[in-house]
Amino acid sequence: MVEEDDDLILSELPDEELVPQMHDDLYDGLADEITEGVNILLERGWTPYDILTKALVEGMRIVGIDFRDGILFVPEVLLAANAMKAGMSILKPLLIETGAPRLGKMVIGTVKGDIHDIGKNLVSMMMEGAGFEIVDLGINNPVENYLEALERERADILGMSALLTTTMPYMKVVIDTMKEKGVRDDYIIMVGGAPLNEEFGRAIGADAYCRDAAVAVEMAKTLMARRHNLPA
Amino acid sequence: MLALNDHGMVDAGLSAPQALAGVFPGRVLVIACGALAREILALRKLNRWDHLELTCLPAKLHLHPELIPDAVARAIEDARPHYDRIFVAYADCGTGGLLAARCRELGVEMVAGPHCYSFFDGNAAFAARADAEMRAFFLTDFLVRQFDAFVWKPMGLDRHPELREMLFGHYERLIYLAQAQDARLDTEAARCARRLGLAYERRTTGYGDLATALATLSPEAVA
């Protein structure tokens, strides 16, 4: 994608060409170009929310599909994520100022004994882009960290991540502790990570297993909508 | 003795030489990850386990662990008419319990443990050190020899060295779990650690629980 666009001057492109070009730049992991594109759209009067959803999130959605289909691999997704992060860093303060739909609040973290956070970070970024407020607990979280953060933040969703076969059972420890304390049903619980599967998610009592960041976003929206429809 | 090279084990695997050409009463087929071929053949020679035949699936399946259960199941079904007993030399290997479930369905045993780092080190010892070594990145003999094919290139570090921090930022040291005594591998493993920006440590494990598991397949153990 990148070769033919070497001489492209982003500021000369009309909106209807600039946005697809930003999708391409995101796909190619070009952080500087994404920064430039975001600034151009802001100068043209786009709202931060529209730039976020139409240029960045949509671009990452395409990246996600190609990752799922085996066309893109981890390094390319990381580069795309870096590019999106560059755009988000401009938009985030503006989104707070201008307001944007808030779909819910998620506490997310990698479980105890596990230091892997690439998947978790991608989920956080995509959830944030979709309008969720994220409280990221980082890596190696014991159950206490999750419980404290859920209560303190008055969160709607708990997200847990694990990359290792040896650490994924800790998710059940967290859920069982929540059951013991009588707070399990106060939260939507979503889990993810390379060795997990649907069956494991069901077996430990999670509300959803999410195989990638795009699925996590859709699942969170669906489960939040379902929650709002429940009788009080 | 079967000829093998690591490059072949990454992409192509290894077929049991006589497999599928007849029926071999009393013989045991080990269906293994290509990353274990050299070690299993060494154990076979060392212990004179002549009853063992070896077939290997490509080690690169580890880059997509979700493909492992189906690949192993196919190999089992293909070999079943020809062998009295089949053993799977894989651990869980990132399949989240799905490989174990498939082996149970097919009535075939496999190596216990989460992955080869663990069973080479000894599953109990590895688990006991889990907290202390949470920030360790492990290599085996095979992975030292195939570092570029299994780590450096798939992680994109050959093309994008700037990803190192994102990928390895939470790691502190590289522990080389050595199966064989080989000074060249030690030197190479130390170089891998430097490339990843990690401290280096070497631990001799030998064949660990892999040897114990394969020993259960000997006619004496069965008797």
Query: In this predicted complex, what is the ipTM?
Result: 0.86
d(CA B82, CA B20): 6
The whole-number average pLDDT for the span A138-142 is 98
Q: Place B21 in a pLDDT band, splitting at 50, 70 and 90.
A: low
Alpha carbon dihedral B26, B32, B34, B38, in 10-degree steps, equals -50
Nearest CA to CA, how far is A158 from chain B (Å)? 21
* Cα distances (angstroms) measured from residue A158 to each of A7, A60, A188, A214, B113: 45, 23, 6, 17, 29
Q: Which of A128-142, B4-18, B182-196 has the lowest mean pLDDT?
A: B4-18
d(CA A22, CA A226): 34
Q: Which of B64, B134, B158, B173 to mutate to test the interface with A (most CBs of A within 10 A)?
A: B134
The whole-number average pLDDT for the span B122-139 is 97
Backbone angles phi, psi at A213, to 5 degrees: -65, -40
pLDDT tens profile A33-92? 999 999 999 999 999 999 999 999 999 999 988 988 889 988 999 999 999 999 999 998
pLDDT tens profile A165-177? 999 999 999 999 9
User: Which pLDDT belongs to residue A102?
Assistant: 84
d(CA B78, CA B80): 6
pLDDT tens profile A211-220? 999 899 999 9
What's the alpha-carbon Rg for chain A, to the nearest Å?
19
Tokens for B75? 């190999």
Residues of A in contact with B135 (CB under 8 A): 115
pLDDT tens profile B158-179? 999 999 999 999 999 999 999 9
Query: Given CB atoms, is A100 within the 8 Å cutoff of chain B?
Result: no
Nearest CA to CA, how far is A119 from chain B (Å)? 11
User: Which pLDDT belongs to residue B18?
Assistant: 46
Q: Are B166 and A73 an interchain contact pair (Cβ–Cβ within 8 Å)? A: no
User: Which pLDDT belongs to residue B2?
Assistant: 47
d(CA B186, CA B119): 20
Evaluate if residue A1 carries a pLDDT over 60: no
Q: Which residues pair with A192 in a beta bridge?
A: A161
Q: Place A97 in a pLDDT band, splitting at 50, 70 and 90.
A: confident
Instruction: Name the more confident of A199 and A102.
Output: A199
Spatial CB neighbours of A4, under 8 Å, sequence gap ≥ 6: none
The whole-number average pLDDT for the span B22-26 is 65
User: Which pLDDT belongs to residue B26?
Assistant: 76
Residues of chain B above pLDDT 70, percent: 88
Q: Could you count the other beta carbons within 10 Å of the beta carbon of residue B120?
A: 27
Q: Are A164 and B114 an interchain contact pair (Cβ–Cβ within 8 Å)? A: yes
Residues of A in contact with B155 (CB under 8 A): 74-75
d(CA B36, CA B31): 10
User: Which pLDDT belongs to residue B222?
Assistant: 59
The whole-number average pLDDT for the span A131-153 is 97
Backbone angles phi, psi at B221, to 5 degrees: -65, -40
Contact A142/A114 with Cβ under 8 angstroms? Answer: no
pLDDT tens profile A185-197? 999 999 999 999 9
pLDDT tens profile A36-52? 999 999 999 999 999 99
User: Which pLDDT belongs to residue B1?
Assistant: 40
Instruction: Name the more confident of B167 and B218.
Output: B167
- Nearest residue of chain A to residue B159 (CA atoms): A75
User: Which pLDDT belongs to residue A68?
Assistant: 84
Torsion sign over Cα A26, A212, B35, B52: negative
Evaluate if residue B20 carries a pLDDT over 60: no
Contact A161/A189 with Cβ under 8 angstroms? Answer: no
pLDDT tens profile B84-102? 899 999 999 999 999 999 9
Average pLDDT, chain B: 91
Q: Which of A207-216, B22-31, B126-135 has the lowest mean pLDDT?
A: B22-31
Coil, helix or strand for A154? coil
Q: Which residues pair with B176 in a beta bridge?
A: B139, B202
Residues of B in contact with A197 (CB under 8 A): 96-98
DSSP B133: T
Q: Could you count the other beta carbons within 10 Å of the beta carbon of residue B150?
A: 20
* Prediction pTM value: 0.88
d(CA A12, CA B99): 54
